[in-house]
Amino acid sequence: MLWDALGVSQPGVTACVGAGGKTSLIQSLATRASIRGWPVLVTATTKMFYRQVAGYELVLADDAAVGVAQVVKALQTGKPAAWFARQDGEKVIGVPSGWVDSVAASAPNTYILVEADGARRSLIKAPAEQEPVIPDRTTTTVGVLNLGAVGQPLSEANTHRLDLVSDIINKQVGETLEWLDLARLAAHRQGIFQYAQGTRILLLSGAEGPAARVAAEKISGYSTLARAGVARVIVTEGYGCAMQPCEVYKL
């Protein structure tokens, strides 16, 4: 199971960054933690769609002290909770990273899942200077890239912050994306693990078909990942709560 692949053994703060599967990862982990009997909190330091969190015990509070108190109360229901500052149309607005740290201090036995940057539904990305926003108490940072990008032309349709990605992988718009490009986005100091805290885990989503799995194996063998501090590479298939690992590589 994905839970075991990540090596989760105790509650803590997990920050999810990158593109092409972060929400599926969060939904899968929240479900598994709840089944295990752990208090679970889903939140973000960016925006999420309301529909993605509507099934949780939702707390909307734009004051830190009020929010922490309401989250602690919501966790007592035994259901996964979610905390956002407010709703804005179809989206909910995240909270400052320091507020997440406050919840972690007030409810230390809670498994907290944080979406720490946005990707606008893209398959790959590189972070801007101000992102991701990762809480100080984060114990694990999971960086996500989608294998479905391999073989596609580099474009705004599949890439968030196209100019930054282009600089890192040294390719222009229209050139074909290869496995090495995803590996570079994971290993580069300004790639998806920028500002990462705790253990670094690369999750390659969208492993649908043999070509994607071959690409994943090559990425996991890219030695620079280990020098960048990535502890393991997890290859997954499926989306939402159905996301499951198909390969795990320890570096």
Place of tokens 């969190």: 53
Residue 4 one-letter amino acid? D
Whole-structure pTM value: 0.97
Give 22-61 pLDDT, tens digit per residue: 999 999 999 989 988 999 999 999 999 999 999 999 999 9
Alpha carbon 171 to chain centroid, angstroms: 25
- Read off the pLDDT of residues 198-223 as tens digits, 9 standing for 90 and up: 999 999 999 988 999 999 999 999 98
pLDDT at 3 > cutoff 90: no
Tens digits of per-residue pLDDT, 136-165? 999 999 999 999 999 999 999 999 999 999
Which helix (H) or strand (E) covers residue 183, if one does?
Answer: helix 179-187
Distance of alpha carbon 124 from alpha carbon 150, whole angstroms: 10
Q: What share of the chain in percent tops pLDDT 70?
A: 100
For the chain, domains (ranges, CATH) are: 2-250 (3.40.50)
